[in-house]
Structure 1
């Protein structure tokens, strides 16, 4: 059996966040929706001390590289469409 791990990082801008508390409230909601909608693991992995910038790490496990790529593309599309944030940059890869 083949196991493929898809990983991605997304750099986000939260222009409306006025404090770390605002940022964490928005991120908590987004991370929960990513898990519920796409069945991925997601967490804030960078810029923890900045209230208007965040780096999010995303991971999924699949038996197919094409499925893992599709899931990560859908996650990035979801982040890009989200009104509360701006997707500044992202990177994905399969392991």
Structure 2
């Protein structure tokens, strides 16, 4: 069964504290979970306030469905981050067959 993994690299230029960073990351995670049937987690430690890495994972019987879902999640992430004054600097995804 195919599993899709999407990694989102985020830049939060306006973040002046860990609290600012957390607010953007938490909002992104919550909105993605509510809008899609996916798992979302922060993948790095809060080393800098201006950057974050978020991982998204989905599983389905259909690889085509996962491809469309990953593209939709990436678009939604860009929109959500832009609304919070942040940007998606990089996104890459991969499939794993189990």
TM-score by length of 1: 0.91
Q: CA RMSD in A?
A: 1.1
Deviation >2 Å, runs of 4+: none
Gaps of 5+ in 1: none
Q: Corresponding residue for 2:68?
A: 70
C-alpha deviation, 1:79, in angstroms:
1.4
Query: Offset of 1:46 from its aligned partner?
Result: 2.0
SS at match of 1:46: coil
* Displacement of 1:38: 1.0
Gaps of 5+ in 2: none
> How many residues are treated as equivalent by the alignment?
93
1:35-54, aligned counterparts within 5 Å?
35-54=33-52
Query: Which residue of structure 2 lines up, in the alignment, with residue 87 of structure 1?
Result: 88
Q: CA deviation at 1:21?
A: 1.0
Give TM-score, length-normalised by structure 2. 0.88
